[in-house]
Structure 1
Amino acid sequence: MIKQDLVDAVAAKAGTSKALAAETLDALLRTITAAVTKGDTVQLIGFGSFSTGERAARTGRNPATGAEIQIAAAKTVKFTAGKAFKDAVNGA
């Protein structure tokens, strides 16, 4: 499912226009992105939570040459599925 498929499904289930559903989805994604960028955790009970994590600097290898390279530390985005979401996926 791509974003447009999601917009179409939300519009159909909510009984609203596709334009309004797209605006709402875009606003939701912008809000989640802004909150996680600031370091906040966004919890959607029953669905999951978005948060940031840290990846330490490490040494890697260039697969083509075998030479060692330094990989810089980075922030990562984590998603942890909620119980209801996990249960739905597992058919419980």
Structure 2
Amino acid sequence: MNKTALIQEVSEQFDTISKKDIDKIVSCVFEKMIETLSEGDTLEIAGFGKFVVNERKERMGINPMTMERICIPASKYVKFTSSKSLKDLVNK
């Protein structure tokens, strides 16, 4: 499912709200999620899961084309851990 499909599904549940308004709401939710994570904070949604920003240390790697050793810079990434209730629903 992509964002457009999500908006379509939500609009079918709420006849009184226009698709345009639902698009604004969904976009706002994603923007706030991104804002929270970009500040390094944890985002926890009860019954769904938790998003945590983790860091990778700088490390050495090998360019497979030239076999030359290269330095891979430190970076941050988002890790998602699903809640127990979501895992249970998926594993039914």
SS of structure 1 residue aligned to 2:40: coil
Q: What are structure 1's unaligned runs of at least 5 residues?
A: none
What is the CA distance between 1:75 and its match in structure 2?
Answer: 1.0
SS of structure 1 residue aligned to 2:26: helix
2:67 is aligned with what amino acid?
G
SS of structure 2 residue aligned to 1:9: helix
Q: TM-score, normalised by structure 1?
A: 0.91
Note the 1:21-60 alignment, pairs <5 A: 21-60=22-61
RMSD across aligned positions (CA) = 1.1
* Cα distance per residue 1:32-68 (max 9 Å; x no partner): 1111111111110010111200101111111111111
SS of structure 1 residue aligned to 2:71: strand
Aligned to 1:64: 65
| Alignment partners' CA distance in 2, 1:13 and 1:65 | 55
**Any runs of at least 4 consecutive aligned residues in structure 1 with deviations exceeding 4 A, and if so which?**
none
Percent of pairs identical after alignment?
36
2:3 is aligned with what amino acid?
K
2:34 is aligned with what amino acid?
T
Aligned to 1:77: 78
Q: What are structure 2's unaligned runs of at least 5 residues?
A: none
1:14 is aligned with what amino acid?
F
Matched length: 91
Q: TM-score, normalised by structure 2?
A: 0.91
